[in-house]
Chain A
Amino acid sequence: MSHPKAASQFLKDQANSHWHDETLWMVREKRDIISKTIPEWEELRNLASQIKDNVLSNLDSYLEEFEANALKNGIQVHWAKDAHEHNQIVLGILQEKNCKAIVKSKSILTEECHLNPYLEKNGVEVVDTDLGERIVQFLQQPPSHIVMPAIHLKKRDISALFHEKLDTEKGNEDPSYLTNAARLHLREKFLGSKVAITGVNFGIAETGEFVVCTNEGNADMGVHLADVHIACMGIEKIIPRRKDLGAFLRLLARSATGQPITNYNSHFRSPAKGKEIHIVLVDNGRTLQLGREKFKNSLKCIRCGACMNTCPIYRRSGGYSYGSTVPGPIGSILSPGLDMEKYSTLPFASTLCGSCSDVCPVKINIHEQLYEWRQEITKNHGEASKSIAMKLASVIFKSPLAYQFSGAMMRKAVRNLPKGLIYNPLNAWGKNRDLPEAPKESFQEWYKKNRK
């Protein structure tokens, strides 16, 4: 479904879309407040942005350094060129361990690769252990936000869902009660899994270790109880040195939820005795994006979700309106790189207001890339699909005479035609808005009369 269609459906329930807007705005306000308690906030953004620039310019050598150090630490390293290879590698490890049930902590990469359905098809039970992820998994929905996967749901939705799935009291909407029910349910799953899968927030080239950030501690719980830890990591998640983490960890949680730091920032360096750690390094279109001069910057993203919370479109159209794994502004510049045809409406789902770029902790010029994607997408669509209005405009605007003539005609039409004709159902402007009153003369005409 195109973005405009999905958005107008979401907006039909006005109360709900208003609530969604307010809820995410609250998260942005928390972020505003806490970021202003750090005097060097803008310097931090610059620093993080520069570190990421350096990473993207030297990604090949950092990846090799990371692999060499990880191997030294006793980690097994796998390389996947695309989603399918990634899924095969993960399944291969599970089959080798004869593992039929796994726990997984939040990983947008595994969503991107559609790992869950792939494993399920191959007889593996997958349990997402992040509370929000578990909720949307129960509903067989994808996350609607990359940091708050179930942000589109209300307490009463979750109460009803847990009543059905976990046999909680009907109508009990108390968050502590519901969370506790989820904990008990998940505890069982944690104890029963020999393999745990996590994502990776940062891979450190210098040491070969990686860092996973969660608020619920679910990644740690899963990993420590399992014999095998599989960490799935996009190749752009590399940072050069451990000390670079300082900048990123300070920015990440403040940008994401307005909290000073994520509750658990766990470093994984080498497997405990008798256990295994695997890292799957995934490309899946990233090197292609790296090769696109105007868009490579998008790979700096640390997945904080701040651009979603600030986006006036996202807040009012919901995560699902984008139809992509990563929604919102950052999703709208990443997704067309994966499939330009499928995601062709996303770069247009923006007013180019630029709030996303100002909020981004690594200073990705998101709104400028949206503009650039528009230029690419229209090329792909060819001349034929260009609207008549656009074709006319390009001719009219280069000729003063044509412009004056058409302008005068338009004003005359607006002034004299009956309202029913102007506001016909095809006129999207007039559906909910009046047109300005058309003046008798243009400024140009006034100027000639009064000043020449």
Chain B
Amino acid sequence: MRKREPSIGLFIPCYVDQFFPQVAVATLELLEKLGCKVTYPLGQTCCGQPLANAGYERDTAGSTRHFLELFKGFDYVVAPSGSCVLHVKEHFPELKGLEEDTKEVQERIYELTEFIIDVLKVDVLKGSFPKKVGYHSSCHGLRGLRLASSSEMNVSPFNKAKQLLEQIEGLEWVELSRTDECCGFGGTFSVTEEALSVQMGKDRLEDHQKHQVEIVTGGDMSCLMHLQGIADRSKSDLKFMHIAEILNQSLA
């Protein structure tokens, strides 16, 4: 008997929904190209991360309850953001009577590249993208979800995004001097510590620029939005694309 097709709920973070709909479209199309049946539950808002990281986790009960209702029953929940996935996994507040639902969602939620590698176990991607690409390893995905080995640790090196991008013909993965330094976005940090945030972003960009990167990519639009904001202000010609956009475009 053929196995039932797994149901996949697409979770699109609020700022992606509002400011980067093209990234959400790319995620949806990419998953479909990889043979997935994807549903996007309507009425999504925000996972609550901005509040929680600002110290108001206790005020996220409402948004969490709403999230759990929307994504209950899916075999998998997939999102194009390591940061929001980490929030769901680690910082959803405890809600009386919803402990089981919470645990279920936390076990079934995946960041996009992690889902493609670990669940879909895709090992061949046929596509072409002849560009020099610099990868920004967003911290929550990197050290929270362990999407790659962090430079601090003495473990066998791995990087799920690299594993995918390296299969794309013509794509040149550019090694940076500081492979996984934070870009300085940090949610509310970007405005409460504006000076530091911007300096960190400038330093990150410089690393990409000095290695002749053409396109900066990553798994989190929040970091890319911050970096792009600084790059655009200085009239730099660096381009920014979410990894879902590169993969989706190459596979076309």
Contacts and interface: CB of A to CB of B under 8 A. Distances in A.
B184 A351 contact: yes
Contacts of B55: 348, 374-378
B153 A42 contact: yes
A352 B192 contact: no
Contacts of A41: 154
A359 B228 CA distance: 29
Nearest to A440: B21
Given A7-B195, A42-B155, A317-B196, A433 B230 contact: yes
A400 B229 contact: no
B179 to A, nearest CB: 10
Given A398-B63, A403-B45, A448-B42, A351 B185 contact: yes
Contacts of A446: 21, 24-25
A170 B139 CA distance: 47
Contacts of A349: 193, 196
Interface stretch (A116-124, A226-234, A270-278, A308-316): A308-316
Contacts of B249: none
Interface stretch (A31-39, A87-95, A211-219, A238-246): A31-39
Nearest to A42: B154
Contacts of A438: 18-19
Given A310-B152, A358-B153, A394-B60, A435 B229 contact: yes
Nearest to A381: B55
Interface residues of A, number: 72
Contacts of B189: 348, 350-351
Interface string A422-452: 0000001101111110110111111110011
A393 to B, nearest CB: 6
B178 interface: yes
B51 A393 contact: yes
Nearest to B240: A436
A21 interface: yes
Interface stretch (B101-109, B165-173, B197-205): B197-205
A171 B225 CA distance: 47
B182 A447 contact: no
Chain B facing A: main interface SS: helix
Interface stretch (B119-127, B128-136, B143-151, B210-218): B143-151
Contacts of A352: 53, 139-140, 186
B58 interface: yes
A354 interface: yes
Contacts of B190: 428-429
Contacts of A399: 45, 62, 66
A436 B19 contact: yes
Contacts of B63: 394, 397-398
Interface stretch (B9-17, B71-79, B110-118): B9-17
Given A393-B51, A400-B66, A429-B191, A355 B40 contact: no
A390 B54 contact: yes
Contacts of B57: 375
Contacts of A35: 154
A371 interface: yes
A131 to B, nearest CB: 29
B42 A444 contact: yes
B241 interface: no
A152 interface: no
A407 interface: yes
B193 A7 contact: yes
A17 B199 contact: yes
Interface in A296-338: 310, 312-313, 316-317
Contacts of B139: 351-355
A416 to B, nearest CB: 15
Contacts of B192: 4, 348, 428
Contact of A396 (B42, B45, B195, B229): B45
A3 B22 CA distance: 37
A351 B60 CA distance: 20
A68 interface: no
A448 B225 CA distance: 25
Nearest to A348: B192
A352 B17 CA distance: 24
Contact of B20 (A8, A374, A436): A436
B18 A386 contact: no
B195 A8 contact: yes
Contacts of A386: 56
Given A42-B154, A403-B14, A433 B233 contact: yes
A99 interface: no
A411 interface: yes
Contacts of B194: 4, 8, 428-429, 431-432
B44 A11 contact: no
A25 interface: yes
Contacts of B188: 348
Contacts of B233: 432-434
B91 interface: yes
A432 B230 contact: yes
Contacts of A376: 55
Contacts of A358: 143, 150, 152-153
Interface in A378-417: 378-379, 386, 390, 393-400, 403, 407, 410-411
B17 to A, nearest CB: 5
Contact of B195 (A4, A354, A448): A4
Nearest to A398: B62
Contacts of A433: 198, 201, 226, 229-230, 232-233
Contact of A397 (B51, B228, B230): B51
Nearest to A349: B193
B54 A436 contact: no
A328 to B, nearest CB: 14
Given A394-B59, A396-B46, A410-B18, 14 more contacts: A11-B199, A21-B203, A348-B193, A355-B152, A357-B143, A375-B57, A395-B62, A396-B45, A400-B44, A407-B17, A428-B190, A431-B198, A433-B226, A433-B233
19 contacts: A7-B193, A11-B195, A17-B199, A32-B152, A312-B181, A349-B193, A350-B186, A351-B182, A355-B150, A358-B143, A394-B62, A395-B62, A396-B46, A397-B14, A410-B18, A428-B194, A429-B194, A436-B19, A443-B24
9 tightest A-B CB contacts, nearest first:
A398-B62, A351-B186, A433-B229, A378-B55, A374-B55, A354-B143, A8-B195, A400-B43, A353-B139
